[in-house]
Structure 1
């Protein structure tokens, strides 16, 4: 191999190494991955952008890598209206709002999180039980005092005001929980965010439930594909009499 080809091989390996690192991290099975998508893509673009190939082909490769990566993943948050990636990232105590590309994006993600949390609180709030006065008691009281009940002309507002009051309470609670979470110290990059939310469930309550929901979403289908491949190797023609519970034990 001549020196020119060797140099090009070294340059290609140098430029493609960050992509290998990103692929390995997002294909993990034992750690949450969805919240790492946005930080890893930002890190990928910065790392490749900071490399300085010594040859024209190397610079051409670098330019094309950056263009294609930016085109496909540069605005990943805007391509997914459900904000799954943004919510998973902001709920990762290793990153929070630090991984956002701008203050506006960070604030928008926080508002989406607060809205999601307020809806969760509203849907899981205990039902209020109102005291019901028996009709016979009302009739007896009216007969006793020989008076006509006063007409409440504001009845039409009671339901509306009650609904608005409840929504305001849930929104305030959601903001307070989010502020409490953001004030907590950042988690170490190598720590497991799922353990953080499980250990602090009493402190954050509903926010922990939402965080665990997003943290458990895998970023890629690689873990699922691994399971199918493993199942195909275990449950073969020669072992087709395996019981379902035994197959499950062998796979998982």
Structure 2
């Protein structure tokens, strides 16, 4: 994907945040003690899945202990959250699992022999550490159209979650280090872009995930500059006082212009003396009003005024429709146009991957004669109705 983005000259190329979380989480689970624990629990779950008798005894003991009649989960190697689900379900059912393995009805009881007290202590700590990551992954999957404005707030939350703590077990500290090493550097080159996107999202416009108020002001200054550039107005630096080289060049140009002017005929030599333009009654009546009117505001001044209004407005609820909110802000045309540019960038490829899954459900061996146009129409109807 990275090579494809570079080949297509996509700038900026925003990586899928869900895929990034998956990679970083799998790195955390590869800490030696944790990976060994996962293998042990996986073997235990496989034992119950393959043994109908063990499953039956487990169900009986669940009823006796008033535990939910839940089956044990088996994880999938390509999805880190399935590993967490497996550990959570095992921890929920561990009293019933222990009693089942100690039952005389089960011939094979050595599956539990490999789990130690340290392993049992470590499981709830892993669940506590990784649960916020599961929430973030669920959020990205549930959002119909997650945009890049959500990436910076997620980053800030997870960076705080994975800060080292003196009370942490050594294994948990190693997991935090592994996660941060993989996750922190993936969006560094896009930090400014991501902050601007969050600032233009009315749910996160307060930038509460940034501790420094000066940093928040800098983000809105960058937005002002982008509005000016988008509307084609020259920057103030372009109209600033020239340096010595520029001044020298300007002087030489003026001298050249004077020489050319000397060669050109003067106004007095011109034969076409245009008559002065006659003032209309409207000019005579209201001309003094026009001269008294203040000069029109520049794009930069208009952008600053819009940003001031925008920051003073109430934040949108977390369940609000961001694009619909911007559609209603008719008095913020400059910011609305910039917000559309930013908020149209998806944060994750999950919705696109769902379209591929839908296509796989539609085009099957039994429907192999579907016309390509009809496939497009069916997918469109499925995803938009």
Size of the alignment, in residue pairs? 211
Residue 30 (1) aligns with residue 158 (2) = no
Residues 121-164 of structure 1 deviation map (CA, whole Å, 9 limit, x = unaligned):
348xxxxxxxxxxxxxxx8862889xxxxxxxxxxxxxxxxxxx
Residue 15 (1) aligns with residue 129 (2) = yes
1:108 aligned residue: 218
Secondary structure of 1:185's partner?
A: coil
2:162 aligned residue: 48
1:129 aligned residue: none
Are residues 4 and 176 of structure 1, via their aligned partners in 2, closer, same or farther at CA, if it must alter by over 3 Å?
same
Please give the alpha-carbon distance, in whole angstroms, between the structure 2 residues aligned to 1:224 and 1:187: 26
Residue 92 (1) aligns with residue 201 (2) = yes
The match for 2:320 among 175, 188, 191 is 191
Structure of greater relative contact order (alpha carbons < 8 Å, 6+ residues apart): 1
Runs of 4+ in 1 over 4 A off after TM superposition: 50-54
Residues 11-46 of structure 1 deviation map (CA, whole Å, 9 limit, x = unaligned):
222211222222232345514331010011101122
Secondary structure of 1:214's partner?
A: helix
Please give the alpha-carbon distance, in whole angstroms, between the structure 2 residues aligned to 1:46 and 1:79: 20
Are residues 54 and 214 of structure 1, via their aligned partners in 2, closer, same or farther at CA, if it must alter by over 3 Å?
closer
Please give the alpha-carbon distance, in whole angstroms, between the structure 2 residues aligned to 1:197 and 1:55: 47
Larger radius of gyration: 2
Residues 179-225 of structure 1 deviation map (CA, whole Å, 9 limit, x = unaligned):
1111111222232222211222x121131122122112111222222
Please give the alpha-carbon distance, in whole angstroms, between the structure 1 residues aligned to 2:370 and 2:321: 36
Residues 224-252 of structure 1 deviation map (CA, whole Å, 9 limit, x = unaligned):
22212321232234323223443234322
Residue 229 (1) aligns with residue 357 (2) = yes
1:69: how far off? 3.2
Please give the alpha-carbon distance, in whole angstroms, between the structure 2 residues aligned to 1:108 and 1:144: 54
1:103: how far off? 3.0
Please give the alpha-carbon distance, in whole angstroms, between the structure 1 residues aligned to 2:199 and 2:363: 41
Q: Which runs of 5+ in 1 are unaligned?
A: 124-138, 146-164
Q: In angstroms, what is the RMSD of aligned CA positions?
A: 3.1
TM-score relative to the length of structure 2: 0.48
Residues 25, 33 of structure 1: 8 Å contact kept: no
Residues 149, 201 of structure 2: 8 Å contact kept: yes
Secondary structure of 1:92's partner?
A: coil
Are residues 53 and 236 of structure 1, via their aligned partners in 2, closer, same or farther at CA, if it must alter by over 3 Å?
farther
2:305 aligned residue: 176
Residue 142 (1) aligns with residue 273 (2) = yes
Q: Which moved more, 1:187-196 or 1:32-41?
A: 187-196
Please give the alpha-carbon distance, in whole angstroms, between the structure 1 residues aligned to 2:313 and 2:271: 60
Secondary structure of 1:220's partner?
A: coil
Are residues 144 and 192 of structure 1, via their aligned partners in 2, closer, same or farther at CA, if it must alter by over 3 Å?
closer
Residues 27, 219 of structure 1: 8 Å contact kept: no
Question: What are the equivalent positions in structure 2 for 1:118-157 lying under 5 Å apart?
Answer: 118-122=228-232, 142=273
Are residues 237 and 29 of structure 1, via their aligned partners in 2, closer, same or farther at CA, if it must alter by over 3 Å?
farther
